[in-house]
Structure 1
Amino acid sequence: MRMHNADETCGIAQAAVVVGDWWNVLILREVARGHVRFDELAGELGLSRKVLTERLGRLVARGVLRRSLYQRRPVRYEYLLTDSGLGLLPLLVAMQDWADRWVLGDGTVTATAPDGGAEHARVHALTGTRLPSDLRLPGADGKERDVVDPDAAATVLFTYPATGIPWEDGIGGSGIEGAAGCTLENRLFRDAWPSFHESGVAVHGVSTQLPYEQAAFAQAESVPYPLLSDADLRLAAALRLPTFRGAGQLRLKRLILVIDADRTIRHVRFPVGDIPDAVQQAQHLATA
């Protein structure tokens, strides 16, 4: 890319050199989703092998991806995100959030979604797909956990915007439709947790709040299940989850996934309007 001299000190221009290519962005999107092998990437993107080889080589050379050998005869590599590549995930999610609002939506900031819209279709298309095997998030104790409990018959994973924010006053003071109810949802899952536990089903709550914020809430509310932090937006990027910007930060919209032990998403509930009914349904589906 030809650049003006003034661009040498511009971070936006320098980032555009790395990710400004259409295919580079989509390759990073697919790697974040767990499609890390050449044939998987070619199939998902519909890209010729020659062009894909060129783009992967550039991303490796830029230090965004690294190659990891997984087969010797013939030689085959997986393409994995480096720390530099992981640092681009918030950019990808921010691009998605912008497009969901301004290109695919009407510009309204909302924590919910209409039936039949792009976000609704994208989330419900997750049914039958598998979560990446290396998807781990920090818990309230700061230690990383698998988003799927490997010892459980199933995992109910619910995402929520945040607790302790103005919209949690019960009045919806933020004016963001669908944002209120995070504390209520956690309390309902807390009260139903003995039944989940007895059935061998794990419950994981996920928000973009920091672990120390989640730890304070978990202690105050006696939450018995793990609260995981997606502050770095790894889960949001991996599943292309819908977000909205509230209180100056990207927040996950409320949804519920029921995930089998083999990491396959069995059921999806989105959007979540009636929270008590959604928790009850999750309990029924996960323990059936």
Structure 2
Amino acid sequence: MRMHNAAADEHCGIAQAAVITGDWWNVLVLREIARGHVRFDALAAELGLSRKVLTERLGRLVASGVLRRSLYQRRPVRYEYLLTDSGLALLPLLVAMQDWGDRWVLGDGGITATAAQDGAEHARVHALAGTRLAAGLELPSGDGTDHPVVAPDAATTVLFTYPGTGVDWSDEPIPGAAGCTLENRLFRDAWPEFRRADVAVHGISSQLPYEQASFARTEAIPYPLLSDAQHRLAAALRLPTFRGAGRLHLKRLILVVDRERTVRHALFPVEDIPHAVEEALRLATTT
């Protein structure tokens, strides 16, 4: 079969991006590095790829400027493979690919902010139990600073993702999308109980920090609202998303994470919001 000549499309951004990401293994290598598997042996184990092929793919991605090598051991020499700014800019593409696959390949093509109990998204989220979040994973907040996703000074952190506050879903009603203001208010009202139990609460959406800050002021939200507009957390945990109102939104779920950044419990899908908030408190105080 005749191979396509990318040079003929030298002015086409799609063609040039495909040179880097169009290879099956390149995409999966980037997926695993986004998940925090940044060392060679971890990548080989996750991908089931031969050392020769993995070395070749990593070399190509470093040469293209998507990855950089960082020395972590001198004898013998060992490197971690980290995303550059160019590589981080690919995360929205990876999440969009996942969203497309969830909807059109693994799903029936419909748009929903929930999930079937026997679906791929349900299985993927519940498989997070026992997963350790990468050290140094931070997201921006409305106060102009980056916050650790897992609070370092709390015994447990409850992470709840939600589609977005102040979004008008009336033109495209999507099952499970509404209710984000209610959810935040319920966590706000239960905040004193979480604090007494040494449990941090972080709300996370794909909204921009200034949008979250405006909502937090209006509703007197006492805990941080973190922005995953760049989809770093979504890529790191392969979180389910849906497209609506012009952007990708995180589906509503709750993770209970211990001080060592290990996910202990996952609640998904979240359909009974008041019960889910109560359950999050119960699980966080019994972890």
TM-score (normalised: structure 1)? 0.97
Equivalent AA in structure 1 for residue 39 of structure 2: R
In 2, distance between residues paired with 1:59 and 1:125? 29
Q: Which residue of 1 aligns with 2:109?
A: 107
Match of residue 140, structure 1, among 139, 142, 146: 142
- The question of 1:60 aligning with 2:88 is answered no
In 2, distance between residues paired with 1:215 and 1:109? 28
- C-alpha distance after superposition, 1:20-39 (max 9, x if no partner): 10000000000000000000
- C-alpha distance after superposition, 1:87-123 (max 9, x if no partner): 0000000000000000000000000000010000000
Root-mean-square deviation over aligned CA pairs: 1.0
- The question of 1:181 aligning with 2:179 is answered yes
1:165 match: secondary structure: coil
Q: Which residue of 2 aligns with 1:205?
A: 203
Q: Is the 8 A contact 2:6 2:16 kept in 1?
A: no
1:9 match: secondary structure: coil
- For residue 5 of structure 1, report the CA deviation from its aligned partner: 4.7
In 1, distance between residues paired with 2:180 and 2:4? 48
Aligned residue pairs, count: 284
In 2, distance between residues paired with 1:4 and 1:80? 27
Q: Which residue of 2 aligns with 1:33?
A: 35
Q: Is the 8 A contact 2:6 2:15 kept in 1?
A: no
- For residue 4 of structure 1, report the CA deviation from its aligned partner: 5.2
Q: Which residue of 2 aligns with 1:230?
A: 228
- The question of 1:190 aligning with 2:168 is answered no
Q: Would you identify which runs of 4 or more consecutive aligned residues in structure 1 move more than 2 Å? A: none
In 2, distance between residues paired with 1:6 and 1:175? 44
Equivalent AA in structure 1 for residue 47 of structure 2: L
Q: Which residue of 2 aligns with 1:242?
A: 240
In 1, distance between residues paired with 2:211 and 2:204? 12
- For residue 129 of structure 1, report the CA deviation from its aligned partner: 0.5
Q: Which residue of 1 aligns with 2:81?
A: 79
Equivalent AA in structure 2 for residue 223 of structure 1: I
- For residue 155 of structure 1, report the CA deviation from its aligned partner: 0.1
In 2, distance between residues paired with 1:126 and 1:262? 14
- For residue 173 of structure 1, report the CA deviation from its aligned partner: 5.3
- For residue 267 of structure 1, report the CA deviation from its aligned partner: 0.3
Q: Which residue of 1 aligns with 2:131?
A: 129
2:10 match: secondary structure: helix
- For residue 287 of structure 1, report the CA deviation from its aligned partner: 1.3
TM-score (normalised: structure 2)? 0.97
- For residue 134 of structure 1, report the CA deviation from its aligned partner: 2.0
Give the gaps of 5 or more residues in structure 2: none
- The question of 1:116 aligning with 2:118 is answered yes
